[in-house]
Amino acid sequence: MGASRSDEYSRLAALVAATRETSGDLFGKAMVDWLRQHVSFDHCVVFGYRGASRPPLLFETFSPAESHVFVALYQEGPYLLDPFHHAAVERKEGFWRMRELAPDRFYASEYFRSYYSQTRLAEEVGFFVPLPGKDALVLSLMRLRASGPFGTADARLLRDMAPAVISFIRLRWPTLPIDEPAEARQDQPIAAVNEFDRAHIWKSLSLTPREKHVVDLVLQGHSTESIARAMRIVPGTVKVHRRNIYRKLKIKSQAGLFARFVEIIDARIR
């Protein structure tokens, strides 16, 4: 920020050159360099998304300790409840703030308390890039609590920059790389499931299709009213579904539901 015009052109030229990179972090570092001329942020990470499959990491700026939370733990299962993941597989494009995508009870959800709060983020924003087929890519910019959230002017500038950022990203990654180990690619059939329906995650539970849909929405952070709107049913019916789910799973709270989610994910990755 505050750099001279020659610095701006120099960094932009470096970014353009880096789009021809086929390996390494040169492009990510050039993108971070260029974006930081305009807006301050603490971290940048790029994930690819293939339906419900484990998202490949394409670039990160984290220390090893930070990477454990932001990448390793995230890839083990929490990504399935991430609003950015849901928006990516639903083919959103452009610049979005987490607050624009998160369900109405996201910040009070068990997922937020159990995982997302560990990130110590004040705000996360992202550039969403649909790719051929059902693949997508998200470049996230993060500000820690010590830095505070992005300002209105920052968000407006990043939104204006989105077409250029997305074009550069598509030049660097026209498709997602196939670099996951063979055992990870065994999850590919899961990605073929309709991206709007993640109830298949709960196939091991003795729930009806509607109850599985309710479970998925509850864990994402939707309120009863939001679930009713999404499923086009009345709130009272949602409450009946939730009571039946809790009875069948022998749990008493959303914390118990999240614990069951963690068990299922642990079983999938073992």
Answer whether residue 195 shows pLDDT above 90.
no
pLDDT reported for residue 106: 94
- pTM, full prediction: 0.85
> Which residue matches tokens 């550069």?
168
pLDDT reported for residue 188: 39
- Verify that 151 and 201 share a domain, yes or no: no
- Name the DSSP class of 189: H
Q: How far apart are CA 264 and CA 140, in angstroms?
A: 27
When the pLDDT of each residue in the chain is averaged and rounded to a whole number, the result is 88
Give me the mean pLDDT over the 239-268 stretch: 89
**Sign of the four-CA dihedral 25, 158, 64, 181:** negative
- Verify that 145 and 248 share a domain, yes or no: no
Q: Give residue 206's pLDDT band: very low, low, confident or very high (50, 70, 90).
A: confident
Q: Give residue 198's pLDDT band: very low, low, confident or very high (50, 70, 90).
A: low
Q: How far apart are CA 232 and CA 144, in angstroms?
A: 37
Answer whether residue 194 shows pLDDT above 90.
no
pLDDT reported for residue 21: 86
Number of domains in the chain: 2
Give me the mean pLDDT over the 8-31 stretch: 91
Could you tell me if residue 270 is inside a domain? no
Q: Look up the CATH number of the domain holding residue 159.
A: 3.30.450.80
Give percent of the chain with pLDDT exceeding 70: 89
Q: Give residue 50's pLDDT band: very low, low, confident or very high (50, 70, 90).
A: very high
Could you tell me if residue 120 is inside a domain? yes
- Verify that 113 and 47 share a domain, yes or no: yes
Are 67 and 45 in contact by the 8 Å Cβ rule? The answer is: no
Q: How far apart are CA 61 and CA 94, in angstroms?
A: 22
Are 60 and 71 in contact by the 8 Å Cβ rule? The answer is: yes
- Verify that 117 and 213 share a domain, yes or no: no
Answer whether residue 89 shows pLDDT above 80.
yes
Could you tell me if residue 2 is inside a domain? no
Task: Domain of residue 123: give its range.
Answer: 8-170
- Verify that 115 and 33 share a domain, yes or no: yes
Answer whether residue 61 shows pLDDT above 70.
yes
pLDDT reported for residue 189: 36
Helix ranges, the chain (H) = 5-18, 26-36, 64-67, 74-75, 83-89, 98-101, 110-114, 152-172, 182-185, 188-191, 209-220, 224-231, 235-249, 254-269
Answer whether residue 165 shows pLDDT above 50.
yes
- Verify that 82 and 126 share a domain, yes or no: yes
Could you tell me if residue 175 is inside a domain? no
- Verify that 141 and 224 share a domain, yes or no: no
Q: Give residue 3's pLDDT band: very low, low, confident or very high (50, 70, 90).
A: low
Answer whether residue 270 shows pLDDT above 70.
no
Could you tell me if residue 209 is inside a domain? yes
Q: Read off the pLDDT of residues 106-159 as tens digits, 9 standing for 90 and up.
A: 999 988 988 999 999 999 999 999 999 999 999 999 999 999 999 999 999 999
Answer whether residue 212 shows pLDDT above 50.
yes
Could you tell me if residue 90 is inside a domain? yes
Q: How far apart are CA 255 and CA 122, in angstroms?
A: 24
Answer whether residue 242 shows pLDDT above 50.
yes
Range of lowest pLDDT (43-52, 165-174, 177-186): 177-186
Give me the mean pLDDT over the 151-171 stretch: 97
More confident residue, 263 or 141: 141
Q: How far is CA 270 from CA 33, 78, 193, 204, in A?
A: 39, 16, 22, 15
Answer whether residue 25 shows pLDDT above 60.
yes
